[in-house]
Amino acid sequence: MATDGESPVRLAAETWESLFRAQVAVMRKLQAGPAFRKVALNEYDVLFTLSRCPSGWLRLNELNDHVLLSQSSLSRLVERLEKRGLVARMAAPEDGRGVLLKLTDAGAELQKDIGREHVRDISGLLGPALTAAEQKELRRLTEKLRHSVGARH
Amino acid sequence: MATDGESPVRLAAETWESLFRAQVAVMRKLQAGPAFRKVALNEYDVLFTLSRCPSGWLRLNELNDHVLLSQSSLSRLVERLEKRGLVARMAAPEDGRGVLLKLTDAGAELQKDIGREHVRDISGLLGPALTAAEQKELRRLTEKLRHSVGARH
DNA sequence: CGTCGATAGATGCATATGCATCTAAATCGG
DNA sequence: CCGATTTAGATGCATATGCATCTATCGACG
């Protein structure tokens, strides 16, 4: 009758809390680095997502699925990035309501610069903490989690 | 000479990105639930941390290590919680600069209410996504990561 | 003890965020 | 083809956040 000491609900809660705290701890360190002096985290996230987009152009609403921001905040964030000359807008060809975004050359270059530094910082944090095998397992589990959660209805 | 297809730096970056995206995906769902109608995420985090504190009282600066917020923002957040009657302050007995915090009865009750719902939501997200063994492994890896990253001086 | 640097919080101010709402374009139903 | 509903983004406004700075206390050292 004894469970192995933990109900499924409690296990899930503890797992989430641990994941969340780890994310906070790493993020704290990353934000302290000089990489985020020029762009805020969410701004970098947008630049990064755009840099990974195969066609170069991405719809604003698709971008919104990636970032933990409300629609209105993202709208204004992009407005700021545009004013700084880091992204360019274009009306969507097939949808008169839509807006397409892409990095400008300056935006792409800034993303690459920050990205390089960012990747070094990350490596410096994860490398000493987890073996390669553990990192792979962590990547696998978080991918699985994300896809399960992201899968709608 | 062939690596197994992945440099350590790249693996670390991908692992972090996957962890981060999973956190965003889960957080999005959690925030959409009715639990966060009454208190914002960071506010709940403070209530939760206080509820877990053995002595009941916690220093403001210790709280700050837990939450992804600047010192000034936490200061004002606590001020709001105090105005809402959810936490109480006390001058630290051994340190005239310090402030001690604890939940009021109303704060403890609200935390428990939201916590219950929160835990149910989490279970509903993680349960279908990962087996119990996978959750335990994820918990282990993220704890290891957090302790390694946090143990900095 | 008295001065000096470090630490805990609070506060002024500029900016970022979210909610509600608005406009315009697409889609649906007849 | 037309009106009704839905969807993509933008915007007004109140609030939350961060940076720089300020005050008060602590701790070290002469």
Q: What is the pTM of this model?
A: 0.91
Reported as a single tens digit per residue, the pLDDT across A25-54 is 999 999 988 888 889 999 999 999 999 998
Determine the pLDDT at residue A153: 45
Range A57-68 average pLDDT: 94
Mutate to test the interface with A, among B65, B149, B152 (most CBs of A within 10 A): B149
Per-chain mean pLDDT for chain A = 93
Check pLDDT > 90 for residue A152.
no
Check pLDDT > 70 for residue A14.
yes
Instruction: Judge contact between A114 and A38, C-beta under 8 A.
Output: yes
Among the listed residues A137, A129, A27, the one whose alpha carbon sits nearest the alpha carbon of residue B148: A129
Both tokens of residue A54?
């195969």
Determine the pLDDT at residue A150: 82
Reported as a single tens digit per residue, the pLDDT across B55-77 is 999 999 999 999 999 999 999 99
Which nucleotide shows the minimum CA-to-C1' distance to residue B79? C10
Per-chain mean pLDDT for chain B = 93
**Pairing label, strands A99-103, B87-91:** unpaired
Reported as a single tens digit per residue, the pLDDT across B34-60 is 888 889 999 999 999 999 998 999 999
In single-letter form, the type of residue at position B85 comes to G
Determine the pLDDT at residue B1: 60
Min CA distance, B20 vs chain A (Å)? 7
Question: What string of DSSP letters covers A66-128?
Answer: HSSS-HHHHHHHHHHHHHTTSEEEEE-SS-TT-EEEEE-HHHHHHHHHHHHHHHHHHHHHHHH
Report the SS3 class of residue A19: helix
Residue of A119, A126, A141 with shortest CB distance to B145: A126
Residues 6+ apart with CB under 8 A from A102: A50, A53, A56, A57, A58, A87, A88, A90
Of B15-19, B83-87, B88-92, B148-152, which gets the smallest average pLDDT?
B148-152
Q: How far is CA B116 from the centre of its chain?
A: 15
Please give, chain by chain, protein residues whose CB is below 7 Å from any atom of strand D: A 59-61, 64, 71-72, 75-76, 78-79, 89, 92, 95, 97-99; B 40, 42, 68-73, 76-77, 80, 95-97
Reported as a single tens digit per residue, the pLDDT across B115-139 is 999 999 999 999 999 999 999 999 9
Strand D positions closer than 7 A to protein CB: 7-12, 16-21, 24-27
Determine the pLDDT at residue B152: 55
Residue B52 CB-density burial (10 A; 0-12 exposed, 13-18 middle, 19+ buried)? exposed
Determine whether the distance from the CB of B78 to the nearest atom of strand C is below 7 Å: yes
